[in-house]
Every structure is written in structure tokens, then in C-alpha cells.
Structure 1
Amino acid sequence: MPLLLGVFLIWYSYNKFTPQQLQEIKDHFRDAKYGFVVLSIIFGLLSNLSRAYRWNFMLAPLGYKPLFSNNLMAVYIAYLMNLFIPRSGEISRALVINKYEKVPFDKAFGTIISERVADSVILLVFIGVTLILQFPLISGYLQESLDLFKIYLLIGIAVPFVFLFFYYLKKSNSALSIKIKTFLAGLKEGILSIFKMEKKWAFIGHTLFIWLMYVCMFYVMIFALPETSRISLSAILTSFVVGSLAIVFTNGGFGSYPFFIAGVLLLFGVPETAGTAFGWLVWSSQTAMVIMLGGLSFLLLPVLNKIKS
């Protein structure tokens, strides 16, 4: 479904453009300053290097210290898997580190969830600042772009099921419930590792660095096109936040990222053709890096670890 949604958004976006506007988009790609695209990719690479290094801060309290190279390749495989199956990256990342570093899956997965919580806190700060600065603009845009009623309905259906699930676990002693409880216990230990780590400040520093690189990755891209090179700080912050949220809608943001970015930039006076080209430049450059390095990681992981052993 997420992939189909991405395909639909691409069809919907380009179907409304006239032949002249489609030619304008092609011209934007042709005339883009690709030096800034390369710089953006470098910032993205630095963020992932930091993410791989940061992971050991949470694994150390559990008694594990994987090789940095294995951490990094696990991260890129996770991003690559997310392009095919949304949210599968966290699972594949834990499976990789379990296979090559013997870290129990549940504990590894718990540290990844803990990572996500830390990253979500930073994202919520960005969202909070953006809402304060641009609340009328963003709320109006989201109401036009999203079916909020369906979102509230899904939440209303999901919450009772969650409560019933945990009630079943509490009362049941079946083999299945025991396995689930054991898994959840390991998951909890992994999540709580964030409170047990010795290098808390280093972890916080890397978290801030990762998000600084995300911002730099996005910011330098505005200079790739003349139409976006002079947009305001509010436009940069708003489109960065909306783009970060758009990634969850489809496989790695396929289709949804350029669609939402173009919509936001249009609110700030950037022509839709330029906004669409900008969104695709940001998304495709980072995705190309993920495909290349994720594919290399798949190939090199067994080879390098065989040499090590």
C-alpha cells in the first residue's frame, strides 16, 4: 500500500502539469548546481557514520561492542530495506548485528527503538519551533493534504487492541505468551540501556550532530536551484519538518517526499515546478547513496566478517 500511494502521488503530481511545466522541471534538473548535491550527500554520509558510532554507546551496557564497520553496514542495510518494505529496516538492522556480532535480537532491537525515541525528541523540538513560527500556515496545509478523520479513526481502533493484547499477556501462561514476554523483557532491557550508558554526553552529542547533518544536508540543497536559493529560514525549517514526516508515508518517502516538499514551498512563493524538482533532487540524491552503500554492505558484510573470523 505505501508503495502504491507513492506511485499515485507521482501520477497525481505530474498529471496536473502542462507539457510546458514538465519541460520546466526537466530544465531545473539540467541546470541544477550538482556540487551542492554532492555536498548534501557528504552531510548525509557523516550523519550515518555518527549513527553507527553512537549505537555502541547503548550496546556497551549490555556487554557488547560490535565492530564499527558492522554497525555502519547494518545501518545502510536498514535504510535500503526501508525502501522496499516500510519500517522493516529496524528489524533487518537487529538481525544483521545478531548474525555477525551475536547480539541477541531482542536487545539489539530494543536499543534501536531507544535510538528512535531519542531522535523523535529532536524532531519534536523542530516540529514545536516550526508550529510556533508557522502554525496557521502548517495547520491549513495539513488539513488540505491529509484526511485527519481517518487518522483519528485508526488511532481509536488501535488503542483498545493494544490494551487487550497486554491484558492477554498478563493473564496467559501459554507457550506463545511466555515467548512474547521473554522477547519484550529483552526489548525493555535494550530500550533502558540509554539510561545505563556511561557516555551519556557523548550519546547526546552524536544525536545533536546527526540532526545537524540532516539540517545541513537539506540546507545546502536550496542553493542547487536559483528559485530556492533565497527562501526564508521559515521556509527552510517548515519544509525540512514536513519532509521528515513525509518519509513515513511511503517506502523511504518515494513519491510523498517531493509531493509534500513542493506543496510547502509553493506556500512560500516557490513555483511548483521548481519545488517538485527540488524535492526530487533531495530525495533521489540521498536514496542513490542508500542504494549504492546498502548494496555494497550486503556484498561486503559476509566477506569482511569471514576474513575477520
Structure 2
Amino acid sequence: MKFLGLSKLKKALQILASLALGIGILYWLFTKENLDWASFRTEMTTINWFWIILGILNLQLSWLYRAIRWQMQIEAIDRRYALRDLWAASIAGVAINYLIPRSGELLKCAWVGKKTGSSTPRLIGTVVTERAIDVLCLLLIVCIGFFLEYDVLISFLLEEAKVPYWLLYLGLFGGLLGLASLFVIKNLARSQGGVFAKAWGLVMALWEGILSVKNLKRPFLFIALTLLIWSSYVLMQYLVFFAYPPASNFGFEVALIVFIFSSFGIVVPTPGGIGSFQFFAQTALVIYGMASASALFFANIMFWPFVISNIVFGTIGFLILSNTPDQSNASKPIEVQ
């Protein structure tokens, strides 16, 4: 009982530390740019909310695409579940992430398992596969963005960020070393076993998860949905440019780079990327010539309306789940079309 109490306390402290980090970054950014609430309100009058709403619609469609894709994955190992319940669990999980970082994926699997009587670990397996594919997609987008905007990014790193050449080469060497380490781990797993075998087993599990797409009934639809999801993210970024005059002339390639930088901000363990998103998005916008204070303002416009929309739809999803009867104690599986 005492251990359980300490575990809850530790979790609560982690959440508070994560929130404090996000708020701290945000406070530092606003202080650095001397951007007060009066200035923020003045800038708000320049926003064309039509484009923000279009961006929000695009984001919410991406969650629907994700739910359809998840439905296909689950159907391949179990049975077909109602899309409504899968969407509700997915968007509710997104909303929960703002309160408890990185918890949404586990909770959505637990919710669906409870409502359908399915095995939660098996559902978690589908999410792990989904995340492995997402990492692959993000890496591909990063490579495309770097290829398209190589000159701009290198110029910024060397002239503005003052990153020395040797550090860039070190980063490239580190990436190549990371790839080479896979072969080393593979050989050590065969010869030494132990922790190397476990590490290689994890790598292979992720790779097999990605390859499992070919076992789906409609693999090409799965791939098409994946392309739709990631295209929606970049398109969302492009659409919101039209909402703010200083960004309205930016092209699609700029949207791609801002999206990549913003994604790095989401990875930082703050609730929903609070603070870290604004920092990386501001950095990307400044690269393309936007004034630093304007970039910080616009980074917040690209963040808060979308967070609010996720919380609103997440609440709707939670209400749907609350009114869906549990099937965990059912005597036999129930087919849901």
C-alpha cells in the first residue's frame, strides 16, 4: 500500500515537473520577446480565423483517418470494431495527453479493451506498430524537408545559430554510427545473448510490426490512409499561414520545415508540447525572415486553437465512451459492424 502511494506521488511529481517545464519555456519566450497580453490582443485582430478553422478541420480529419487505420489493424488480429468507438477512444487519448503526457495511447487501448472485451496487450501491440510506422514517416519527411531546403537550413545553422561545421559533421557521423550499431547489436545478440538479444528482439519486433501491413486485407488502403494522415498535418500547417499577414506569402516548402521543427517540440516531454512547440515553431519562422516577436505570437496561434479543438472533441469522445456499454464480461464476442 505504501509502495502504491509512493508510485502515485512519483507520477504526480513527474506531471507537475513536465507542466512546470512547459510553462517555464513559455514564460521565458514571452519575457525574451517582451510580448505582453496587450500586444498579443492587438496582433489577434490581424488573424483571419477562417483559415484557422480550416486548419482545425484538417487536423480533426487526420484523427478520423487514424481511427480508420487502427480499425484495419485490429480487424487483422481480432474482429471489426465500430469506428465510432475507435475514434472516440483515439481523440479522448489525445486530450488526456495534455494532462498526463504520453498516457493517451495506453488509455485508449484500455478503453477499447473494456468496451469490446478485447485483449488490451494486443491492442497496445497495434499501437506500437502504428508508432513505428509514424516514426518512419516522420524521418522520411525530415529527409525530404532537408533535401528541399538544404541551402536555407545550412545557412541558418552556420550564420545565425553559429553551429560550427565540425558539429554538423559530428551529427552526420552519429547518425551513421547509429545505423552501424544495428549490425553490431545483431552480431552481439547472436554471440553474447543477454541484453543484446533483448535489444535486437525489440528492433525486430518493431520491424515486423511495420511489415505486418502486408497481412492486412487492404494494405494499399492502409498506405493511402497513412499518406492522408501526414499530408493533413503538413496541409494544416500551410493553411494557417493564410491566417496571418506576415506568413501569408510562405510556400508549401516553408510549411514542411515549420511542421518538422514543430514536431521536434511535440517530442519534448511537456503536456502536449506546451512551450517547446512554440520555441521550435518560432525558430523555424525566424529562419524564413519573420520578426522574432511576430513568430512567437504566430507560434501560439498555431498551437492553442488546435489544442482547444482536441480537448473539445476529446471530451465528446469521452462522453461517447461513457455511454457505450462494457463488453468485458460478455460470454462471447459481439460483432460490431
Structure 1 and Structure 2 fold alike (TM over 0.5): yes
Shift of 1:169: 11
What letter corresponds to residue 119 of structure 1 in structure 2? D
Counterpart of 2:303, as a letter, is: W
Which amino acid in structure 2 is aligned with residue 136 of structure 1?
Answer: I
SS of corresponding position for 2:33: coil
Unaligned ranges ≥5, structure 1: 172-180
Please list the CA deviations of residues 33-57 of structure 1 after superposition, one character each: whole Å capped at 9, or x if unmatched: 0011111111011111111011121
Question: What is the CA distance between 1:70 and its match in structure 2?
Answer: 0.7
Residue 20 of structure 2 is aligned to residue 17 of structure 1: no
Verify the 8 A CA contact 1:253 1:283 in the aligned structure 2: no
For the pair 1:116 / 2:131, whether they are aligned, the reply is yes
Match of residue 270 from structure 1: 290
Q: Distance in 1 between matches of 2:50 and 2:109?
A: 35
Give the Cα separation in 2 of the matches to 1:100 and 1:187: 27
Name the residue aligned to 2:227: 208
**Which one-letter code corresponds to 1:27 in the other structure?**
T
| CA drift at 1:243 | 0.6
State the alpha-carbon separation in 1 of the partners of residues 162 and 110 from structure 2.
39
1:229–1:11 CA distance, 2 compared to 1 (3 A): same
CA distance 1:235–1:93, change in 2 (3 Å): same
Q: Find the counterpart in structure 2 of residue 2 from structure 1.
A: 18
Unaligned stretches of 5+ residues in structure 2? 1-16, 183-187, 328-333
Match of 1:178 in 2: none
Structure 2: which amino acid aligns with 1:229?
A: S
**AA paired with 2:95?**
L
Cα displacement (A) at 1:27: 1.7
Q: Distance in 1 between matches of 2:88 and 2:78?
A: 21
1:50 aligns with 2:65: yes
Distance 1:142 1:204 in 2: 38
Partner residue in 2 for 1:176 = none
Matched to 1:12, the amino acid is: W
* Aligned residue pairs, count: 284
Whole-Å separation in 1 of the counterparts to 2:161 and 2:99: 26
Equivalent pair of 1:74/1:96 in contact (CA under 8 Å) = yes
Shift in Å, 1:219: 0.7
Fraction of identical pairs, as percent: 25
2:104 — aligned with what?
A: 89
Partner of 1:177: none
Q: Deviations over 1:111-144 (max 9, x none)?
A: 1111112222221111001222234156558887
Instruction: Give every structure 1 segment of 4 or more consecutive aligned residues whose post-TM-superposition deviation is greater than 6 Å.
Output: 141-144, 168-171, 186-192, 306-309
User: Whose helix proportion is higher, 1 or 2?
Assistant: 1
The corresponding residue for 1:218 is 237
TM-score normalised over the length of structure 2 = 0.74
Deviates more, 1:130-139 or 1:264-273: 130-139
Q: Which AA in structure 2 matches 1:204?
A: I
The answer on whether the counterparts of 1:41 and 1:217 sit within 8 Å (CA) in structure 2 is: yes
TM-score under structure 1 normalisation?
A: 0.80
1:25, 1:276 within 8 Å by CA — same for their partners in 2? no
Aligned twin of 1:256? 276
* 2-structure distance, mates of 1:187, 1:130: 25
Indicate which of 229, 249, 256 corresponds to 1:237. Answer: 256
Aligned-partner Cα distance in 2 for 1:213–1:8: 30
Q: Out of 53, 71, 90, which is 2:86 matched to?
A: 71
SS of the equivalent of 2:97 reads helix
Aligned ranges 1:26-175 → 2 under 5 Å? 26-132=41-147, 133-134=149-150, 135-137=153-155, 139=157, 167=194
Residues of 2 paired with 1:191 and 1:106: CA distance? 18
Q: What is the root-mean-square deviation in Å for CA atoms of aligned residues? A: 3.3
Contact 2:132 2:210 in 1 (8 A): no
**Residue correspondence of structure 1 range 164-203 to structure 2 within 5 A:** 167=194, 193-203=212-222
1:236 deviation in Å?
Answer: 2.0
Q: Distance in 2 between matches of 1:110 and 1:238?
A: 31
Distance 1:138 1:6, change over 3 A: farther
Taking structure 1 as reference, are residues 233 and 56 closer, same or farther at Cα in structure 2, changes over 3 Å only?
Answer: closer
Deviation at 1:18, TM superposition (A): 3.1
Judge conservation of contact 1:114–1:192 (CA < 8 Å) in 2. Answer: no
